[in-house]
Structure 1
Amino acid sequence: MSAQRTERLLNLLIALLNSKYGLRRSELREKIYHAGAASDAAFGRMFERDKNDLREFGFDVETVMDHGWNSDDPATTRYRIGKESNRLPDVELTPHEWTVLLLASQLWEQAALGAAATNAMRKLQASGGLADVELPAGVQPRIKPAGQAFEDLVAAMHAQHPVRFRYLAGSTGREEERVVEPWGLGSRFGQWYLVGYDRLRGARRYYRLSRFTSAVSVLEKEAFTPPAAFNVRAELASLPELPLAFAVVDVRKGRLLGLRKRSAPAAVVAGEAVAGEAVAGQPGADGDWDRLAVPYRDAELLGEELASYGPNVRVVAPAELAGAVQRRLASAAAFAAAPVPSFDFADAGPGKRPRKRTSEDQLKRMLQLVPFLVHNQGLHIQDVADRFGVTRKELENDLLILICSGLPQGYPDELLDIQWEDDHVFISQSLELNRPVRFTVDEACALLTGLETLNGLPELAEGSALESVTLKLMAAAGEEGLRAGALSGPEVGPANSANLDLIRSAIESGSQLHLVYLSAQKDSLSERDVDPLRLYSMDNTWYFEAYCHSAAGLRNFRLDRIEDLTLNGKPVSSPVKPDGGFPAKLFTPNDDDTLVTVQLTGRGAGLADDYYAERTAALPDGGLVAEIRFGSTSWLPTFVAQHGGTVRILEPAALAEASRDWIEAALAQYAS
């Protein structure tokens, strides 16, 4: 969409909104399309495209037909947009309800629905104003979707397009192509599942996203209709958990403390581990190795973890698990050996993986901007830009288009009237754009799924605010809200509530903590005194951010890796505070960290956001080259192996070579 078309759409929208009886095609062509339609046929095509675009933005163009008195008096067709039918109803929320809703919206901060949640919150602020609320310490969960596939599947699901992908079938162990109508996405047993209709098999099927072996292709020229009132949470509730089994693995002496913690000597559980004959032919553990039995339910999930340990572990049985590990290592080795593509960081900016801004984005933003300014008069222009995630120059460009837009006659009192004198923005003429448009499906899903996910937090479930704000949002979302059942998030309740309660209490009282902590990267236990700052979660894994006196800096600690936690009787003593951003960053880059250049495939592109890439360059195949800062580089071979062929190190060359050697050493253990 060109800038000229953006302005034309805005003028068309204002004209149709402000016409009580509707406008004839001849009036529209003369007043709105005079510069672009050379013929009636060209005008007709442009008008039909514009009506479809307005429908995408939430405005339905009504067609009104006046029938003539007789055959000599032809019918007249007029067009208008109803002032009420497309508007978000006013939603009045209490401060407690705003707090809950703010938590729900921020679940998706780095997910596919993050932008949708932000847009929905802006619309609610424009309709009722945001109360001055603070997020409670210890209740800051977020959702980490299953990579790029999640984003692509959500987009296809809401647009109702089928998808194509390659899948590792659990029943056969073979990679097979699937063409699926995506009905719903949900989390169950710590795994994300796609539920849909498999066109090749003619039946409903379930797919674990961890078994996808290719990027997702959206078949945009095809469409489907999902079952009425489909609810993916109810659908997945009937899915049985995989049975518990034991894998026999050899682990190097003194290594992998985390894996040892949940394992036992293989001899102790040999009868439950694997059939005796499956292990009998394997060489026994020697002086450098310990043979362990590791409990697991999903071979692919455990295979991803074991592959990340490289030459420090080798799978004895079962063969399915050994194959899962080898496949990941082989994919990582093949990707590492592939030719390096040409790329250019010249146009890349700092921060998240860049997405090119379009004129559609600009028009959507301007439609949110007008009602926001009406309800928030006099804000500083930089504050407005920050609220909308744009630069001041981009915002001023929006305002310059808006003040030139209005009714077809173009008289001074028929244009949008916006001033920003002394850098404070005021609007006095809104031309029926003063109320936000109704939620899109994405926006309704983002908020309602987030609210449903918060049910797992006892401190929220006990109160009435969660239930009341959900009912208000369902009523406001209307038909779009009914489709939110196609998405469900993970359980976010903490497994170790005792540690969480102690940390929350220490945060509130300003008390220092002493902890014994298992560092997975260093594969060692350490004792630390820390000043706790805030708690948050990623899916069902909880973390707390603290100032670590041993490291003399901010660190993040997983609650499930805490071996011991006590109050040490001292008050917090560090002046360091969180940066105010939400959620807290799992990794805080520093200027003296190592700058690493990595290549990501289309499947792994989301890692650029997860690790806060400083610059990215898009590749023709949908992948990326990214620059990321790492404080410690010794674990990067683990990082590469874990993601099995979706990421590789390009620079520094010594790190790339060390990663290749490490993966080849791991593969060599399976050569026989």
Structure 2
Amino acid sequence: MSRRKTERQLNLVICLLSTRRHLTAQEIRKTVLGYAEAESESAFKRMFERDKRELRDSGIPIQVGTGDAVSGEEGYRISRTDYELPEIELLPDEALVLGLAARAWRHASLGEAAANALFKLRAAGVPVDTEAAPGLTPAMRTDEPSFGPVWQAVRDRRPIAFDYRKPGQERAERREVEPWGIVNLRGHWYVVGHDRMRGARRVFRLGRVRGEVTVLRGGPDVVAPEGVDLRSVVAGQHTEPERSAVLRVRTDAAHDLRRGALRVVPGERDTSGGGWDTLTLPYYDTPGLVRRVASFGARAVVVEPAGAREAIAAHLAATAEPAASAGGSDGPAADGGSGAPARGPRSADQLRRLLMLVPYALGRDVRVPEVAEHFGLSERQVVADLSLLWMCGLPGYTPGDLIEVDLDAARETGEIIIGNADTLAQPLRLTADEAASLVVGLALLEALPEAEGLEGGALKRVGEKLRAAAGAAVASLADAVQVRVEVDEQVADTQRRCADALDAGRRLHLRYLSGYLDQVTERHVDPMGLVVQDGYPFLEGYCHLRGDVRLFRLDRVLELTVLPEAARVPEGVGRRDLSAGVLQRSERDTVVTLDLDPSARWVTEDYVCESVAELPGGGVRATLRTPAPAWVVRLVLGLGPACRVAAPAEVAEEVRAEAARALAHYGAGAVR
């Protein structure tokens, strides 16, 4: 980082804000401290052009006009109207939902943008509190490495090029796309746009992008067709099921199949209460039906149609046979890329911090630790920023022109005292990323039942105020990023009842279908909060069965009863840290290594993996952790010959044994 560069750029901002006319480049060279260091005219031009570009990238609007009326030479200034954040007045309920909207990105790549937006709003006197309503935890994750550059391309309306591997393909294909927007559906991000290679509208799941995304700078801006509904385009990728299968399933088993069945006919029970039930199950295609039923092993059998019955028998036969590992490297996957939007050089980061800090500190009791925590810096770095600020000011740079900073107070008591900084007293306007992160976060809040109870439509009101303050360009970006949690009526009702119990402080009784095991358990739960993450709503609460805090996905709640007794969370028990996601890892987890064919690469997209390494032929070796090895057995049974358990050996053997038990239900003559 160049300290002198940051000083020069800050002095340039102060100079261009304070001038009433456009200054020519030569006037700036003579006036602004730092440009005299340029050894030649060409060196100055390069330095000045770079500074202008970096200031504009930071959201600082440099206006171009006539600087010299005689020669017609260009001049530059910063219009305060374009620079300063417009006045925003928020009612208490509006400030609450805005803080919640920023919280949605806390653990994602746009978390910094959302946090900086709130910092600027607080500097403008807007009373935003991100810790209000602690029972609500909206959360959005952007784990896909391609998210950052795709967001940037949508923001700047630029085409993109990338390598894309469809499910079942051995090799990725090059695509060149004009992106219209980004959609989050069920926790996965998709980009919708015009595929130049195919000459048609296409949808691409960001988790299937391989390598880096290139933002194409040439050509006209991308314009989305008028009236296109991005979420409908993504959601419409699947057609309605046109076929149905008849299955037999064991009593108290195959609960996921039961929930999707059109009809369930109970069968006869033996003396122990066990037996078989008959289900009628809708399905899209035979391979999908085979994977779904095979995952339940010997507890589910396809009766008809005959083609599906033969297909699952062949699938199980191949799974039951011992298979040699495909081998390959244990190293990390070659696919790279950053998960966050591109950041500028560190001097640009420091400049943005200073331009936010000055209006925030003026007239407020602000401490070094608070600033350090917000920006993720050490307290020593904050003091270094303040010492740099002390060297900047209005052209002339006499003691009366320089910004006043009490460095002794900052070092000794942590108090930040800034004076003589009227030029920078108003907070900088929100950048496109900052404003859009809040607007998109507001859309996520609509999935929470508590949003319905906000008096006077606070969500709508604060969204309108934010869009008006940010400008048309930001509103356009926010409209191009669609985030919505799609839940059916039953889940929405469960969510509302959980929210009511949370408000009333009442204990809940749940019949809950385990996400790891084909098992329904009875739970007494003291609710602690609601979480929306990875596209799904969760109840967070103290589970008396497990004696610990647990997250319950609401679409797996089979029955919910609000009990008359009060919820009593044990003293000292707190909510979970979700910075790493809903999945909680433990040293007690079983480490499993899977060799996946190209058709099964989606496993690395849908599940958190410790490592992913490429194998010959387009497959991958994935290593993951799980507290329930039985879940891995179900996963591999569903994948069949497209997956082999490389380790541990006992899991591989259990997969083969269960496949053999399931195959016995079909008879030797069924395999062709």
Q: TM exceeds 0.5?
A: yes
Aligned counterpart, 1:282: none
Supply the distance in 2 between the matched residues of 1:185 and 1:226 (Cα, whole angstroms). 14
Supply the distance in 2 between the matched residues of 1:220 and 1:2 (Cα, whole angstroms). 30
1:162 paired residue among 156, 160, 165: 160
Q: CA 1:34–1:600 in structure 2 vs 1: closer, same or farther (change >3 Å)?
A: farther
Aligned counterpart, 1:226: 222
Supply the distance in 2 between the matched residues of 1:253 and 1:382 (Cα, whole angstroms). 60
Secondary structure of the structure 2 residue equivalent to 1:364: helix
Q: How many residues align?
A: 619
Please, which moves more after superposition, 418-427 or 469-478?
Answer: 418-427
| Structure 1 residues 48-63: aligned runs within 5 Å | 48-63=49-64
Aligned counterpart, 1:466: 459
| Structure 1 residues 236-315: aligned runs within 5 Å | 236=232, 240=236, 242-246=239-243, 257-264=254-261, 294-296=281-283
Supply the distance in 1 between the matched residues of 2:547 and 2:198 (Cα, whole angstroms). 58
Instruction: After TM superposition, give the deviation of residue 54 of structure 1 in Å.
Output: 0.9
Please, which moves more after superposition, 514-523 or 182-191?
Answer: 182-191
Superposed CA offset, 1:429-472 (max 9, x none)? 33522222222222232222232343455653563212221221
1:209 paired residue among 197, 200, 205: 205
Contact 2:291 2:639 in 1 (8 A): yes
1:480 paired residue among 444, 452, 473: 473
Letter in 2 for 1:409: G
Whether 2:81 is the aligned partner of 1:84: answer: yes
Contact 2:58 2:352 in 1 (8 A): yes
Supply the distance in 2 between the matched residues of 1:400 and 1:302 (Cα, whole angstroms). 66
Contact 1:210 1:301 in 2 (8 A): no
Supply the distance in 2 between the matched residues of 1:229 and 1:371 (Cα, whole angstroms). 41
Contact 1:511 1:567 in 2 (8 A): yes
Q: CA 1:53–1:490 in structure 2 vs 1: closer, same or farther (change >3 Å)?
A: same
Whether 2:515 is the aligned partner of 1:517: answer: no
Supply the distance in 2 between the matched residues of 1:384 and 1:104 (Cα, whole angstroms). 21
1:544 paired residue among 533, 539, 547: 539
Contact 1:405 1:415 in 2 (8 A): yes
1:153 paired residue among 150, 153, 163: 150
| Structure 1 residues 209-608: aligned runs within 5 Å | 209=205, 212=208, 214-215=210-211, 217-222=213-218, 224-227=220-223, 233=229, 236=232, 240=236, 242-246=239-243, 257-264=254-261, 294-296=281-283, 337-341=327-331, 358-359=345-346, 360-374=348-362, 377-419=364-406, 420=410, 421-457=412-448, 459-461=450-452, 463-483=456-476, 484-491=478-485, 495=489, 496-538=491-533, 541-573=536-568, 574-579=570-575, 586-589=582-585, 593-594=588-589
Contact 1:193 1:206 in 2 (8 A): no
Q: Structure 1, unaligned stretches of length 5 or more?
A: 269-286, 344-351, 620-624
Contact 2:181 2:481 in 1 (8 A): yes
Aligned counterpart, 2:28: 28
Supply the distance in 1 between the matched residues of 2:601 and 2:9 (Cα, whole angstroms). 37
Supply the distance in 2 between the matched residues of 1:417 and 1:648 (Cα, whole angstroms). 67
Supply the distance in 2 between the matched residues of 1:459 and 1:545 (Cα, whole angstroms). 15
Instruction: After TM superposition, give the deviation of residue 546 of structure 1 in Å.
Output: 0.9
Aligned counterpart, 1:15: 15
Instruction: After TM superposition, give the deviation of residue 96 of structure 1 in Å.
Output: 0.5
Contact 2:528 2:575 in 1 (8 A): no
Q: Structure 2, unaligned stretches of length 5 or more?
A: 266-273, 334-338, 615-620, 664-670
Q: CA 1:551–1:137 in structure 2 vs 1: closer, same or farther (change >3 Å)?
A: same
Supply the distance in 1 between the matched residues of 2:29 and 2:381 (Cα, whole angstroms). 30
Letter in 1 for 2:474: G
Please, which moves more after superposition, 148-157 or 539-548?
Answer: 148-157
Instruction: After TM superposition, give the deviation of residue 115 of structure 1 in Å.
Output: 2.7
Across the aligned residues of Structure 1 and Structure 2, the Cα RMSD in angstroms comes to 5.2
Supply the distance in 2 between the matched residues of 1:151 and 1:106 (Cα, whole angstroms). 19
Supply the distance in 2 between the matched residues of 1:196 and 1:342 (Cα, whole angstroms). 31
Q: CA 1:137–1:381 in structure 2 vs 1: closer, same or farther (change >3 Å)?
A: closer
Aligned counterpart, 2:269: none
Contact 1:231 1:486 in 2 (8 A): no
Supply the distance in 2 between the matched residues of 1:313 and 1:210 (Cα, whole angstroms). 34
Aligned counterpart, 2:268: none
Superposed CA offset, 1:572-605 (max 9, x none)? 3322443486789624456x5449699999x999
Contact 2:207 2:605 in 1 (8 A): no
Secondary structure of the structure 1 residue equivalent to 2:355: helix
Supply the distance in 1 between the matched residues of 2:290 and 2:217 (Cα, whole angstroms). 37
Aligned counterpart, 1:347: none
Supply the distance in 2 between the matched residues of 1:155 and 1:666 (Cα, whole angstroms). 48
Supply the distance in 2 between the matched residues of 1:665 and 1:485 (Cα, whole angstroms). 52
Supply the distance in 1 between the matched residues of 2:204 and 2:539 (Cα, whole angstroms). 29
Instruction: After TM superposition, give the deviation of residue 554 of structure 1 in Å.
Output: 0.9
Supply the distance in 1 between the matched residues of 2:603 and 2:125 (Cα, whole angstroms). 34
Supply the distance in 2 between the matched residues of 1:260 and 1:372 (Cα, whole angstroms). 56
Supply the distance in 2 between the matched residues of 1:470 and 1:298 (Cα, whole angstroms). 42
Contact 2:549 2:576 in 1 (8 A): no
Supply the distance in 2 between the matched residues of 1:184 and 1:334 (Cα, whole angstroms). 44
Q: CA 1:58–1:190 in structure 2 vs 1: closer, same or farther (change >3 Å)?
A: closer
Contact 1:608 1:626 in 2 (8 A): no
Secondary structure of the structure 1 residue equivalent to 2:81: coil
Instruction: After TM superposition, give the deviation of residue 127 of structure 1 in Å.
Output: 1.5
Superposed CA offset, 1:302-323 (max 9, x none)? 899789879998999679x99x
Supply the distance in 1 between the matched residues of 2:292 and 2:129 (Cα, whole angstroms). 43
Superposed CA offset, 1:629-661 (max 9, x none)? 8655664677899999xx999xxx965x66777
Supply the distance in 1 between the matched residues of 2:43 and 2:295 (Cα, whole angstroms). 59
Superposed CA offset, 1:262-298 (max 9, x none)? 2459999xxxxxxxxxxxxxxxxxx999997643559
Superposed CA offset, 1:394-426 (max 9, x none)? 333332322233334332332332332511222
Superposed CA offset, 1:237-275 (max 9, x none)? 79756212457598996796342322459999xxxxxxx
Instruction: After TM superposition, give the deviation of residue 428 of structure 1 in Å.
Output: 1.9
Supply the distance in 2 between the matched residues of 1:310 and 1:397 (Cα, whole angstroms). 63
